Amino acid sequence: MTHITFPKDFIWGCAASAYQVEGAWNEDGKGPSIWDSFTQTPGKIVDGTNGDIATDHYRRYKEDVALMAEVGLHAYRFSTAWSRILPEGIGPVNQKGLDFYDRLVDALLAKNIEPYVCLYHFDLPLALHKRGGWTKRETANYFADYACIVVERLSDRVRTFFTHNEPWVAATSGYVLGRHAPGRKNPIAMFRAFHHMLLSHGFAMDSIRSAARRPVKIGIILNLAPIYPGSNDRRDTAWARRADTVVNRVALDPLLKGTSPLQESALGRAFSRLFVKPGDLEMINRLDLLGVNYYSRSVVTHDPRLPFIPTRPVNVKGREYSMMWEIYPKGIYDMLTRIWKDYSPTCEIIITENGIPLADTVDADGCVQDEIRIGFIKDHLTQIHLAMQSGVPVKGYFHWSFMDNFEWALGYTPRFGLVHIDYNTLQRTVKESGRWFQRVIQANGFPRESG
């Protein structure tokens, strides 16, 4: 038996997003977002639900913060809802919306929990979408203005701001796959939207620096997944490299190198000129903190029947799967060491999301036995620790999520939380994984069987 111990200043936290937990979708002056519109459209969400109430965090935040303190969290990463603060995306500020985040920050600090604020987690104001949304370059400027408002209000107490959560997911799922809001299926719109999200990060770096009331760290959060070929066949290997470009390099290269994989071919250069202007990549290539979200790997094989990137995902026989994907802890080690080797980032690295969807239930004794989640976290923390021993300076781990919540197009069926939510009564119950995580935080590590 060995004991895995993390550095004394390692940050233990959990994460959430505004639309997934807050509820109060049209209260206290909040304007509608694209997710309010999308979920209220029949057929868009698997179980027919929406985030109108969610976990009612808007009203019950004090109760939730008390639970966070009970679990012993060092930090809580949450997002601000753009349309709660600026109902039209631009124009007059809704002070009641800002006041909510003011109260939340104060409640966290009163319990010695560090607030980490993400400014955008998929929920564009509907009014801006009607003006073209992320396909329009001016939205990047509007985002910088919004960032300035939030930072000016909160930066006397908040030391870390993330601009975006998973911009590539927002672009692909929202603009070409149609699975997420705003539900479009246009490849050109997807590339435009993605570039403008990255550009808005660069613009916001300037507005945040100018608005901050004290020095702050500014980061962005990417969902990254190592891509492996399904065989040693040269075609599978070649297409796995291309898939990696589309999934990982498309965001990592601009942010950490100031380059774009689109510039590597004549066709890509011609295409990117439709929306990339001189100086854009230099504007994007600025970062204090890289947030890494990791859930699983992807194994792909060549399929000539498919357009664009002719690969198809492969389910690996004999592997364990959750409700949504393969459980593959080593992938987080491979991704972290690859970033360190290929990019030599000067920014800090932190795990901003990692978790597993399960169909958790409360048993007759009022407990939620989720041993699979405990094993999942333990195995991933072990791989993170190995990456740190290999030289990758990971600063912390934020579990997704603190409590069960609305899981986008999948509604309320998948449960990711350390805290169980009864969606009929909204009763909170700390799961066994939450109690285990509490002990990990207290010990700054955990015992690990050798071998």
Q: Which residues are catalytic?
A: 166, 353
Q: What is the DSSP string of 185-241?
A: --HHHHHHHHHHHHHHHHHHHHHHHHH-SS--EEEEEEE---EEESSS-HHHHHHHH
Task: Please report, for the chain, how many H helices and E strands are present, in that order.
Answer: 16, 15
> Which pair of tokens denotes residue 13?
């936290």
CB 449 within 8 A of CB 13: no
38 phi/psi in degrees, rounded to 5? -65, -45
C-alpha separations of 123 from 83, 195, 266, 310 in Å: 8, 17, 35, 31
CB 413 within 8 A of CB 47: yes
- Tell me the CB-side half-sphere exposure of residue 367, using CA atoms within 13 A: 7
Q: Which residue has the tokens 């781990």?
A: 397
- Tell me the CB-side half-sphere exposure of residue 360, using CA atoms within 13 A: 34
Question: Distance between CA atoms of 299 and 216, rounded to whole angstroms?
Answer: 38
> Which pair of tokens denotes residue 208?
């945040």
- The answer for residues whose C-beta is within 8 angstroms of residue 335's C-beta and 6 or more apart is 224, 225, 226, 248, 292, 294
Question: Distance between CA atoms of 348 and 121, rounded to whole angstroms?
Answer: 21
Please, what is the angle between helix 371-389 and helix 432-443, to 10°?
30
Virtual torsion, Cα 196, 198, 201, 202, nearest 10 deg: -90
Question: Distance between CA atoms of 442 and 436, rounded to whole angstroms?
Answer: 10
> Which pair of tokens denotes residue 431?
């799961």
In 3D space, the residue among 451, 423, 390, 305 whose CA is nearest the CA of residue 49 turns out to be 423
What length does the chain have?
451
Q: Which residue has the tokens 């597993």?
A: 356
Residue 52 three-state SS: coil
Residue 359 one-letter amino acid: A
293 phi/psi in degrees, rounded to 5? -100, 125
In 3D space, the residue among 132, 158, 140, 117 whose CA is nearest the CA of residue 202 turns out to be 140
> Which pair of tokens denotes residue 140?
């990047």
